[in-house]
Amino acid sequence: MTTSAEDRTLILLRHAEPEAGRAGQDDRERPLSERGREHAQDIGRWLREQGIGCDEVMCSPALRTRETMQEVAEAGCSEAEVQIEHRLYNADAHAVLSVIRESVNDANVLLVVGHAPGLPAAASLLADGEGDDDAHDLLSNGFPPGAAAVLRFSGHWDDLDFGAARLDDYRVP
């Protein structure tokens, strides 16, 4: 039985600001800075104020992405179970899209927490000029740590392709 196509919301969230790496430290083990924690909480509150809940969350295994998601959840987006997706660590835009396509089709709102440059590139390629002009202007000026792009499209996750979504909103903490 196939389900009908529905409107979907995709939130692409770059991890918040991490602490500087130390000599010999594995990049995956860099924690958030205090400022990064505050920024992640700001994004969580903003998502809650926008009425955007999460049905599914896919998160890179890096400590800074997991801590970002924890702060976002505590501030407002806590209803979904977080799935650690190893392919999101240092993923390019194509790998990010591949992960998104594997989301369950009963999830109408998907939050993906990852890294630059792959996540910002995916946001730009998915929207490809469609949507809110102000949001596009902001997105074109960069995707700093803690930034979130909210994209919308109609269809199944496995049908999503570059250029098929509309950039609905963009938030920098």
pLDDT score at 15: 96
Residue 1 included in any domain: no
pLDDT score at 105: 80
Count of other CB atoms within 10 angstroms of residue 107: 17
Residue 21 included in any domain: no
Q: What is the mean pLDDT of each run of 10 residues along the chain (173 residues)?
A: 68 94 80 96 94 92 96 81 93 96 90 94 82 59 89 94 92 89
pLDDT score at 76: 74
The enclosing domain of 135 has a CATH number of 3.40.50.1240
Residue 79 included in any domain: yes
Residue 22 included in any domain: no
Residue 82 included in any domain: yes
85 burial via Cβ count (<10 Å: 0-12, 13-18, 19+): buried
Cβ–Cβ < 8 Å for 123, 143? yes
Cβ–Cβ < 8 Å for 160, 100? yes
Q: How far is CA 89 from the centre of its chain?
A: 13
The conformation of residue 2, written as its DSSP 8-state character, comes to P
Q: Whole-model pTM above 0.85?
A: yes
Number of domains in the chain: 1
Query: What is the per-residue DSSP string for 64-124?
Result: HHHHHHHHHHHHT--SSPEEE-GGGTT--HHHHHHHHHTS-TT-SEEEEEE-TTHHHHHHH
Residue 76 included in any domain: yes
Count of other CB atoms within 10 angstroms of residue 83: 13
pLDDT score at 26: 79
Q: What contacts 8, CB < 8 A, 6 or more positions away? A: 108, 109, 110, 152, 153, 154, 155, 157, 160
Q: Domain span at residue 98?
A: 6-15+27-171
